[in-house]
Structure 1
Amino acid sequence: MSAVERQLDDLQAEIEEEVPADITISDVTYEGPELVVYTRDPKEFASDGDLVRRLASKLRKRITVRPDPDVLSHPREAEEQVRDIIPEEAGVTDLDFHADTGEVVIEAQKPGMVIGRHGSTLREITRAVGWTPEVVRTPPIESSTVSNVRNFLKQERDERRDILERIGRQIHREEMSDDEWVRITTLGCCREVGRASFIVSTPETRILVDCGDKPGAEGEVPYLQVPEALGAGANTIDAVVLTHAHLDHSALIPLLFKYGYDGPIYCTEPTRDLMGLLTLDYLDVAAKEGRNPPYGSEMVREAIKHCIPIEYGDVTDIAPDVKLTMHNAGHILGSAVSHFHIGDGLYNVAFSGDIHYDDTRLFNGAVNEFPRVETLVMESTYGGRNDYQTDQEDSERKLKEVINETYERDGKVVIPAFAVGRSQEIMLVLEEAMRKGDIPEMPVHLDGMIWEATAIHTTYPEYLRDDLRDRIFHEDANPFLAEQFNHIDGGEEERQDVADGDPCIVLSTSGMVTGGPIMSWLRHFGPDPNNRMVFVGYQAQGTLGRRIQNGWDEVPMSGDRGSRSGTLTLEMDVKTVDGFSGHADRQGLENFVRTMNPRPEKVLCVHGDESSVQDFSSALYHEFNMRTFAPKNLETFRFK
């Protein structure tokens, strides 16, 4: 009998001692980080609302209780009872019964009403029908991404269970080494922005944190080939942790599966969906520009199949000696500060990912409270000594001034924006400004993936700022449904109509002008001096956006499949409005460290241009008297 089998037998014995005598435990198994308990008496289990919580606390495990398939009521009868129990106002749109696991997936417009106070309605459902309910939200804006991901995971349910059981056994395997050390190896994004990637190593475990590309630098990928990463084989990696879905952190996650990786990806649920959206678009853009994509779409599906979603604040076992907790990073939807508790109190490391310290219209500010952090790996995008952004109120006032001036001269405004994060932030500013009469009402055209990304935001309002979440719960107050917003879905013909029409605002990907529909808007709007291009987000070195921002007015344009088709002379004004970035500025980065309690002993400053990381590293050292580093790629740091 293996160590895991013995462990499961011991756990089943402990559970049987804890539960009332009239409850039979038929099996106990692992699925990923969760302990799954099968019972022939699900109704009795549900009658004690505290029982699962007590078991989880005693065993220090995440627990899911499922009924044995042979004690379930027929789905047709169960559906009638479930619909009778759930209030009509919950807006149930679908019920999907899975006899193999005894689960019923309930899709509803208002999941909170299905759950009930402290889960009371869920327990009532199980008491009535025996099935274990799982609740998901019906997107207020139809999302093909969310629908496709849910349908795909439903189709792959059997294989996914096999994957989760295998991962569960890996997580809970017996520790093999008595050594105690922790190492971090930098594979990318050191003294540069982009290709974020790190390895966290212990004697037991090797974890890859992020795996992104570098904007504007084709072919510059993380150093995955080194022995600490994939050089010793893809399956020497035990787990992948993805802090958020932006391509400079996620683009090459599917590539791992092409190389033979077959393990878990830990991320939040919105990050999983957004990764699917952005990586598929990444492949599409590569094909249109005549480049060979690094992997195929089937690898994106493999990545999604291996994702294990984690909610903010949940402490999750991801290896025999590592627990992971994700916290809101305030950067984009689902972005996470990732905290690793290593060993039995041995060492704690936090990766900031990308953060925004203060509240924005979209998100609450980044969390920086942890029980312990000895080492912080900290983004430094705006870490330079002069990288102070104007505050949000001033930024919004300046943007409204630019729009009003452009409108008065019968011009149009185009804003290059990331599909995820900045676009929704700007949408909220524009919706309120038009509603209050601060700018004239005019169409706001959303091009590229912005509409789809917005739909995903409305699917997960619990990840948004508190007051925005409350507005989305009330459909008549959902700002993303304002009538000014128009999804560009008619391609070049519709863009031409917009260019020939009245004053308007266009939000378009790509945010750094590295391809995509923004290139078409340059052709349409660029030659007219009455028009304006407004940069509201970070423009990385080497990107066309940075060059235009720095004064370039001769822009090389591409033809079909990436061929050059001449140069476009830009006559329109170019403005930069700081303050809308999803990244904290220098002050916000310092405040993040200043208010940590306790503060880390060491900080690795990464994800910034060379001068930015060096400035920020020096500032933290002098201000807080802590050990700081501005590492280069391929450095390894040993702790303990």
Structure 2
Amino acid sequence: MSTERILEEAREQISKIIPEGVNISGIEYEGPLVVVYTKDMDTFASNNDIVKQLAQGLRRRVAIRPDPSMLADPEEVERRIREIIPDEAEITDIYFDDDIGEVMIEAISPGIVIGKHGSTLNEIKKEVGWAPKVVRAPPLPSKTVSDIRSYLRQISDDRKVFLKKVGRRLARQRLEGESWLRMTALGGFREVGRSATLLSTRESKVLIDCGIDPGKDGGTPYFNAPELMPLDTLDAVVITHAHMDHCALLPVLYKFGYDGPVYCTPPTRDLMSLMQLDGIKVSFGEGKKAPYESSHVREVVAHCIPLKYGETTDIAPDIRLTFQNAGHILGSAVCHFHVGDGMHNIAFTGDMKFERTWLFNATANRFPRLETLVIESTYGGHRDFQPSRADAVNTLNEICDRVLKRQGKILIPVFAVGRSQEVMLVLEELMRTGKLPSVPIYLDGMIWEATAIHTAYPEYLNSQLRTQIFQMGENPFLSPLFKRVETQDMRERICHDDEPCIVLSTSGMMNGGPVMEYLKSWADNSNNCLIFVGYQAEGTLGSRILKGQTDLQIPERGKMINIKMCMDIEVAEGFSGHSDRRQLMAYIASLDPKPNKIIIGHGDEHKCSDLASSIYKKFNIETRAPMNLETIRMR
């Protein structure tokens, strides 16, 4: 069936649902959306059920937009919007997208813009003709969020062409004959790093994650596997979250010719852009050539189709995707794929935390259907039990108190996204409540910017933290204790200052980044302390230090220098964003429904096989721990 015929069928379906007399001036596929253009926006604004009925009838997401001829003058529209919206919403910007008839309203309090049950937003829809879209203004200004929003406005014409191309590809004619589903491990199986999995059907190919191996000097997934090539046969790339072992090499796909969509949550899009651009800077600082350029990162942004938790979207003619909270970092997602017309359902946890943390709710464990689960096993070994969050706080408190009392300095290497924000919340509370002396907490590397992105998406944080921010007006991320390291001169002053302080710095596994500057300055003083709060992959500098290596060679301006480790080495366990063995087994026990098959990845070889064996023995569920390049057929 041709795309034109499919559009015609959509028109016929729409005509049966909308009230008689409503003027529909156009219908178009834009990415996974069916866009309906109308000259009667007020009808849709006053009856939300119509859109729900359209989505159910078309079995696709539906967007209603005004016919271009109905759009009023932007200056007059902006004046009217500011009259309608209460001042306490604190509008920070209003900008217009002529091509799609949208007016973006950026505000500190988007809930006030929306109004009770959408009343204010509906009034705007009726009054101005343009389709309003509300976005949150970060209370901490984020250059990344601002730049991405500005860039997307600049390329709106190109993006519309791209979305129509994706929409028509999604609507292509389905193939006749036998249906099947299989997954191919391209990286991140029986290892931690370079996560990449190919999900294939007779109709479609979807790549899940595209990361780097931090422990193997930039090890990549098996891009040359025949199943993956050529890249233009890929229907989509899905990114579970923004850590570099899951997204670092996504720009490389665009460098080598991929031009299709990337599906991820909005925070993941922003955070991975930050991480990928920083990857270029880190490579340059180490005298290495990055595998991609900033133009390729912009290509990723231009091709992103962001999805919120719970939105179900077609990403291929026979595959639908739904994201659910994974509890690992901001925007991290369990990816649930509904394949075929009920043929098979498979979920990829990505990295997950099945425990409520200071930042996030626990991993989602309920699905409409689930036949196969692909789960991580970073801490899946039979001895991998982490302390509770309360014990983790006590441990960190005791270590920091001891070091600060002897006037020492504390260095905590952290991932910019996830662990840094958790440690920030804990340190802020300990100092605010007097359990630790108040000393400066310096944030170096991308931590400040990553934290600013967290403040732009509080709806992705746990309910307690949202209440604290929204209802109590207490945003711990805005504490004056936190100080941003903005220049090399400031970093030098901190390194040589005699006063005690705490530095949170990237990178989390000490493979480059500003953390190395502090290490070089403080390593020879036994009063100082290095505290590990996250996973250290095999082969990284952090792993070598943990194993007791004291004579270290580290890079400096393209050369290797020797340093002697005399500072204290401590581990504050319990801050990990990964589930431990107990939590992984509890997650399997809690799944509703139970899968028929569980596939284990993202863990050292013995942990993958150990977890697979334990799940089979306890739950009598078929398990596999494949090696990279293995293919498993599900149907």
Shorter-chain-normalised TM-score: which range?
over 0.9
What residue number does 1:436 align with?
Answer: 433
Are positions 1:276 and 2:273 aligned together?
yes
What residue number does 1:426 align with?
Answer: 423
What residue number does 1:609 align with?
Answer: 604
TM-score, with length taken from structure 1: 0.98
Aligned partner of 2:609: which letter?
Q
Distance in 1 between residues matched to 2:128 and 2:449, nearest whole Å:
37
Are positions 1:563 and 2:559 aligned together?
yes
Give yes or no for contact 1:12–1:25 (8 Å, CA) kept in 2.
no
Aligned partner of 1:135: which letter?
V
Deviations, residues 558-578 of structure 1 (Å, cap 9, x unaligned): 121x221x2100111000111
Aligned partner of 1:22: which letter?
G
Distance in 1 between residues matched to 2:589 and 2:493, nearest whole Å:
51
Structure 2 residue corresponding to 1:487, chosen from 479, 484, 487: 484
What residue number does 2:323 align with?
Answer: 326
Matched residue SS, 1:255: helix
Are positions 1:622 and 2:621 aligned together?
no
Deviations, residues 126-165 of structure 1 (Å, cap 9, x unaligned): 1111110011111100111001111111101110011000
Matched residue SS, 2:134: strand
Structure 1 residue 343: deviation in Å?
0.4
What residue number does 1:220 align with?
Answer: 219
Matched residue SS, 1:50: helix
Structure 1 residue 15: deviation in Å?
1.7
Give yes or no for contact 2:35–2:62 (8 Å, CA) kept in 1.
yes
Structure 1 residue 42: deviation in Å?
1.4
Give yes or no for contact 2:495–2:521 (8 Å, CA) kept in 1.
no
Distance in 2 between residues matched to 1:253 and 1:23, nearest whole Å:
44
Matched residue SS, 1:187: strand
Aligned partner of 2:366: which letter?
E
Matched residue SS, 2:48: coil
What residue number does 1:70 align with?
Answer: 69
What residue number does 2:245 align with?
Answer: 248
1:210-359 correspondence runs (5 A): 210-230=209-229, 233-359=230-356
TM-score, with length taken from structure 2: 0.98
Matched residue SS, 1:112: helix
What residue number does 2:633 align with?
Answer: 638
What residue number does 2:115 align with?
Answer: 116
Aligned partner of 1:25: which letter?
I
Structure 1 residue 17: deviation in Å?
2.9
Distance in 2 between residues matched to 1:69 and 1:175, nearest whole Å:
33
Matched residue SS, 1:83: helix
What residue number does 1:47 align with?
Answer: 46
Structure 1 residue 492: deviation in Å?
4.3
What residue number does 1:397 align with?
Answer: 394
Aligned partner of 1:452: which letter?
E
What residue number does 2:127 align with?
Answer: 128
Give yes or no for contact 1:496–1:524 (8 Å, CA) kept in 2.
no
Deviations, residues 500-546 of structure 1 (Å, cap 9, x unaligned): 23111110000001001111010121111001100000000000001
Aligned partner of 1:39: which letter?
T
Structure 1 residue 476: deviation in Å?
4.4
Distance in 1 between residues matched to 2:335 and 2:22, nearest whole Å:
38
Higher mean alpha-carbon deviation, 75-84 vs 311-320, is at 75-84
Structure 1 residue 293: deviation in Å?
1.1
Give yes or no for contact 1:195–1:214 (8 Å, CA) kept in 2.
yes
Deviations, residues 73-94 of structure 1 (Å, cap 9, x unaligned): 2112111211111111111111
Distance in 2 between residues matched to 1:368 and 1:44, nearest whole Å:
38
Matched residue SS, 1:229: coil
What residue number does 2:6 align with?
Answer: 7
Aligned partner of 1:333: which letter?
L
Distance in 2 between residues matched to 1:633 and 1:17, nearest whole Å:
50
Distance in 1 between residues matched to 2:256 and 2:399, nearest whole Å:
49
What residue number does 1:23 align with?
Answer: 22
Aligned partner of 1:271: which letter?
T
Distance in 2 between residues matched to 1:19 and 1:610, nearest whole Å:
56
RMSD: 1.2
Structure 1 residue 16: deviation in Å?
2.4
What residue number does 1:156 align with?
Answer: 155
Higher mean alpha-carbon deviation, 484-493 vs 527-536, is at 484-493
Structure 1 residue 472: deviation in Å?
2.7
Structure 1 residue 495: deviation in Å?
3.4
Distance in 1 between residues matched to 2:514 and 2:468, nearest whole Å:
31
Distance in 2 between residues matched to 1:167 and 1:542, nearest whole Å:
41
Deviations, residues 269-294 of structure 1 (Å, cap 9, x unaligned): 00000110000111111121122211
Distance in 1 between residues matched to 2:622 and 2:99, nearest whole Å:
53
What residue number does 2:519 align with?
Answer: 522
Structure 1 residue 499: deviation in Å?
3.4
Distance in 1 between residues matched to 2:137 and 2:589, nearest whole Å:
40
Structure 1 residue 599: deviation in Å?
1.3
Higher mean alpha-carbon deviation, 412-421 vs 96-105, is at 96-105
Are positions 1:90 and 2:89 aligned together?
yes
Matched residue SS, 2:56: helix
Matched residue SS, 2:520: helix
Are positions 1:592 and 2:591 aligned together?
no
Distance in 2 between residues matched to 1:407 and 1:108, nearest whole Å:
41
Distance in 2 between residues matched to 1:399 and 1:497, nearest whole Å:
22
What residue number does 1:185 align with?
Answer: 184
Distance in 2 between residues matched to 1:463 and 1:493, nearest whole Å:
33
Distance in 2 between residues matched to 1:117 and 1:16, nearest whole Å:
31
Aligned partner of 1:550: which letter?
K
Structure 1 residue 320: deviation in Å?
0.9
Distance in 1 between residues matched to 2:71 and 2:493, nearest whole Å:
58
Give yes or no for contact 1:458–1:472 (8 Å, CA) kept in 2.
no
Give yes or no for contact 2:99–2:156 (8 Å, CA) kept in 1.
no
How many aligned positions are there? 635
Matched residue SS, 1:360: coil
Matched residue SS, 1:383: coil
1:377-392 correspondence runs (5 A): 377-392=374-389
Give yes or no for contact 2:240–2:335 (8 Å, CA) kept in 1.
yes
What residue number does 1:369 align with?
Answer: 366
Give yes or no for contact 1:245–1:274 (8 Å, CA) kept in 2.
yes
Distance in 1 between residues matched to 2:176 and 2:189, nearest whole Å:
31
Are positions 1:407 and 2:404 aligned together?
yes
Are positions 1:576 and 2:575 aligned together?
no
Matched residue SS, 2:289: coil
Deviations, residues 564-602 of structure 1 (Å, cap 9, x unaligned): 1x2100111000111000101111111111110221111
| Percent identity for Structure 1 against Structure 2 | 51
Give yes or no for contact 2:495–2:522 (8 Å, CA) kept in 1.
no
Distance in 2 between residues matched to 1:570 and 1:209, nearest whole Å:
40
Distance in 2 between residues matched to 1:343 and 1:167, nearest whole Å:
19
Unaligned runs of 5+ in 2: none
Structure 1 residue 20: deviation in Å?
2.2
Deviations, residues 176-211 of structure 1 (Å, cap 9, x unaligned): 232111000000011110000000000000000000
Matched residue SS, 2:322: strand
Aligned partner of 1:332: which letter?
I
Deviations, residues 297-340 of structure 1 (Å, cap 9, x unaligned): 10100011000001101111111110101100000000000000
Aligned partner of 2:264: which letter?
C
Give yes or no for contact 2:94–2:103 (8 Å, CA) kept in 1.
yes
In structure 2, the CA distance between the partners of 1:476 and 1:117, relative to structure 1 (3 Å rule), is closer
Distance in 1 between residues matched to 2:531 and 2:385, nearest whole Å:
19
Give yes or no for contact 1:177–1:203 (8 Å, CA) kept in 2.
no
Structure 1 residue 123: deviation in Å?
1.4
